[in-house]
Amino acid sequence: MTTKSSPNISKDRLTDPRAVPQKSSQIGVSTAGAEIPVGAGPITVILRLKGDLAFVLNNRESSVTVIDVKSAKPIKTIEVGAGPRGASASPNGRDVVVCHGATASVIDCNSLEVRAVIEGVSTTANTPFSPDGKYVYFCANGAPQVIIVDAESLEVVDGITIEGPTDVFSIVINPYRPLAYISNTELGEVLIFDTQTMALTKKIKVGEGPTGLAISSDGKLLAGCNFLDDTISFINLNDDAIVATVGVGPNPIAAVFSPDGRLAYIANGGGDTVSVIDTENFQYVEDLSVGQNPFDVAINPEGTRVYAANVGSDSVSVLNTGPSEVVEDFESVEAAQIGEVGEIMLTDIFKVTLLEVSDPEQYLAISNAEWGREWVSGNALNNYDAHTDKMMAYSLELNEGTASTIRFWMANGNNTSLIPYLDVWFMGGPDNVLDARHFSWPPDTAFEMQVDSGALQGIQSIKIRTNGQFVIDQIEVVRE
């Protein structure tokens, strides 16, 4: 048994495993722990709403690197203005706004082309949209001002001038209340503005040199990075009181909350780590290793991957923050076989039970079939003497617990059946079918593909029925 993770493969939900005659083969790779090379000086990383694309601003170049999240590979470099610095994704998933100098580029997320340019705006760190997507906010770089732009006309429609010594760095918008929170690095404050009246309503004293801000998805908690004293200030937004100050790594500069708000991830710009804080008790949890000088962090919608833009090593680190995963690759399992209905074999993760055969000569085995494919190789689960229109059914039941996702690789054997097929049921109990699939192919068709349950709840077992020989390997289990 080994441990690893790989991305989900998209799936169609079926109630009848024979409802769809064929499903195309899809091949995925593991992305957790990846270090993705990008352009020079990556200073910002954001994900579009669906979480399928990451946009990385290369500050020492005039470019944005687009990463396909599933494959963890750059797919395009988009030329923008010099020194891109702040960005945000629109709530409708259509656009990404990238600020550079005194202008901003609007990138269409479908065509991955710059569709418009906004004049007369600048920013230090980020450019958030209002929750309804109608407006974009810019913290003017080097000026005590917030500029507000209409997201459709792309015209400047309003602004907030901040009195007194001010060096604004970051701005976040409350998702449920008409309030904006701005870090004032000069005076060690977080400023609160009413976005309807454009009036300053409160100043909250925090640590030294506040930089990046993050707000929880429920709008109740704010995290502020204090760059000069290596702490995070947590502010309860119901009464605007500081509820905790937590020490982290050197020069914290950006933060992001998990979707459920239970964890905060902090980019330590003066080191090579992302700190994790439990926001239920405001305790430091651990430091996660990333590249050099992480300057920004982002998280996917499921909360299972954190992305750190490493300005010092020209890379983006991908951190696995999801549930624990185990993989049954059969390599540590002794060779075994079962031929009688009701017989079982045990692996580290599963109890394998033979349920049905159409010929007494058939048997199910864990053995090295010398298959040698990319994913199906070495020891695997094989059904033998099923070459020509012989049916077999068996189950793989988890030895302990339940799973939210199970995926496995399979390849066809020496199929001479008229209609080779594979049926799969994901079971929540003996009579509880959570999902089902049916796959069929022309005879003598060679293939290798991954079957993925997608996100379910309470998976206890898999039931498999075959007509023809199929080899099963690399069964990945995401435990609940």
Do 218 and 77 have their domain in common? Answer: yes
Do 272 and 155 have their domain in common? Answer: yes
Rounded Cα distance between 348 and 447, Å, is 27
Q: Tell me, yes or no, whether 16 lies in a domain.
A: no
Do 161 and 307 have their domain in common? Answer: yes
Q: Tell me, yes or no, whether 24 lies in a domain.
A: no
Rounded Cα distance between 35 and 94, Å, is 27
Identify the pLDDT of residue 181.
Answer: 96
Do 340 and 451 have their domain in common? Answer: yes
pTM of the model: 0.68
Rounded Cα distance between 270 and 80, Å, is 27
End position of a domain, from candidates 297, 320, 343: 320
- Phi, psi (deg, nearest 5) at residue 470: -135, 145
Q: Tell me, yes or no, whether 429 lies in a domain.
A: yes
Identify the pLDDT of residue 165.
Answer: 65
Q: Tell me, yes or no, whether 61 lies in a domain.
A: yes
**pLDDT (tens place) for every residue of the chain, 480 residues total:** 322 232 222 222 222 232 322 222 222 233 446 799 999 999 999 999 889 999 999 999 999 999 998 788 899 999 999 999 899 999 999 999 999 988 999 999 999 999 999 998 888 778 999 999 999 999 876 667 788 999 999 999 988 778 776 778 899 999 999 999 999 998 999 999 999 988 899 999 999 999 999 999 999 999 999 999 999 999 999 999 999 999 999 999 999 999 999 999 999 999 999 999 999 999 999 999 999 999 999 999 989 899 999 999 999 999 988 777 788 889 888 899 999 999 999 998 999 999 999 888 889 999 987 766 677 888 999 888 655 678 899 999 999 889 989 999 988 765 566 778 889 999 999 999 999 999 887 777 777 889 999 989 899 999 999 887 788 999 999 887
Do 289 and 352 have their domain in common? Answer: no
Query: Tokens representing 185?
Result: 């690095």
Q: Tell me, yes or no, whether 11 lies in a domain.
A: no
End position of a domain, from candidates 320, 352, 384: 320
Distances (CA, A) of 231 to 225, 226, 252, 445: 6, 5, 7, 60
Q: Tell me, yes or no, whether 10 lies in a domain.
A: no
Query: For residues 200 and 191, is the Cβ–Cβ distance under 8 A?
Result: yes
- How many folded domains does the chain comprise? 2
Which residue range(s) make up the domain with 90? Answer: 35-320
Q: Look up residue 2 and give its DSSP letter.
A: B
362's CB contacts (< 8 A; 6+ apart) are 339, 383, 384, 385, 386, 390, 392
Do 236 and 296 have their domain in common? Answer: yes
Rounded Cα distance between 207 and 71, Å, is 39
Query: Tokens representing 460?
Result: 């206890």
CATH of the domain at 444: 2.60.120.200
∠232-235-240 over CA atoms, to 5°?
A: 150
Q: Tell me, yes or no, whether 255 lies in a domain.
A: yes
Do 259 and 376 have their domain in common? Answer: no
Q: Tell me, yes or no, whether 149 lies in a domain.
A: yes
Do 315 and 333 have their domain in common? Answer: no
Do 275 and 214 have their domain in common? Answer: yes
Identify the pLDDT of residue 469.
Answer: 79
- Phi, psi (deg, nearest 5) at residue 333: -95, 130
End position of a domain, from candidates 320, 355, 390: 320
**Beta pairing partners, 73:** 68
Do 291 and 263 have their domain in common? Answer: yes
Q: Look up residue 7 and give its DSSP letter.
A: P
CATH of the domain at 304: 2.130.10.10
Do 210 and 330 have their domain in common? Answer: no
DSSP 144-186: SEEEEEETTT--EEEEEEPPSS--EEEEEE-SSSSEEEEEETT
Do 150 and 231 have their domain in common? Answer: yes
Given strand 305-310, what is the order of strands in its sheet? 35-37, 315-320, 305-310, 294-299
